[in-house]
Amino acid sequence: MDDKRINSRYHAAYPLDFSYDVRTKIKIQIKEDQGALQKKHAAFSQNISTDGLCFVSKYKLHKGDALHLELFLPGSDKAIGMEGEVRWSKTVLDDKIHKSKYNTGVKLLSVDGQSVPDTVCFDSTYHVAWSIVLERVFNTYKFILKKNKDDCTPLEDF
């Protein structure tokens, strides 16, 4: 029998900690020991979770680098400020330009000054993990959708 569902279904036997595909512009800066910030570098997010972010950049980062990040969601004029630490960075070749880029995973420590670990929670009813990271990103999208209600495409037409 063919499954005609549009959206995936998740069984709630185990806790779920989703990684959401969020592709948007980011500005990254390495924080020096005294807290001073280095030059800004452009990046593009790949996905985001309760306490992490993955992005691609032309700039090589190293495990342990402390970062200040600004996440710019489409349609919003205010960046979401984040602090984090590089957990891994992998080189990938961009075939279009024949140059290396770097996929980087960051553990997020704070969002707009609020501690991420203090906000990570598990909803036992829906079996989903949540945090200030997801709250800020999805609330911003919700605000943008309300602002652009006429441009919102019904899911069945998508």
Mean pLDDT per block of 10 residues along the chain (158 residues) reads: 45 48 86 85 91 92 96 86 96 78 95 94 81 86 58 48
CA atoms 82, 101, 141, 122: torsion sign: negative
What integer pLDDT is reported at residue 34 of this predicted model? 74
Domain residues for the domain of 88 are 20-148
State the distance between the two ends of the chain, measured CA to CA, in whole angstroms: 24
What integer pLDDT is reported at residue 142 of this predicted model? 61
Q: Does a structural domain hold residue 36?
A: yes
* pTM assigned to the model: 0.75
Q: Does a structural domain hold residue 74?
A: yes
Q: Does a structural domain hold residue 92?
A: yes
What integer pLDDT is reported at residue 146 of this predicted model? 58
**CA 36 to each of CA 66, 68, 158: distance values in angstroms, whole numbers, following the listed order:** 11, 10, 45
What integer pLDDT is reported at residue 33 of this predicted model? 81
Q: Does a structural domain hold residue 84?
A: yes
Q: Does a structural domain hold residue 3?
A: no
Return the CATH number at 41. Answer: 2.40.10.220
Q: With helix as H, strand as E and coil as C, how does 14-47 read? A: CCECCCEECCCEEEEEEECCCCCECCCEEEEEEE
Alpha helices by DSSP H, listed for the chain, are 132-147
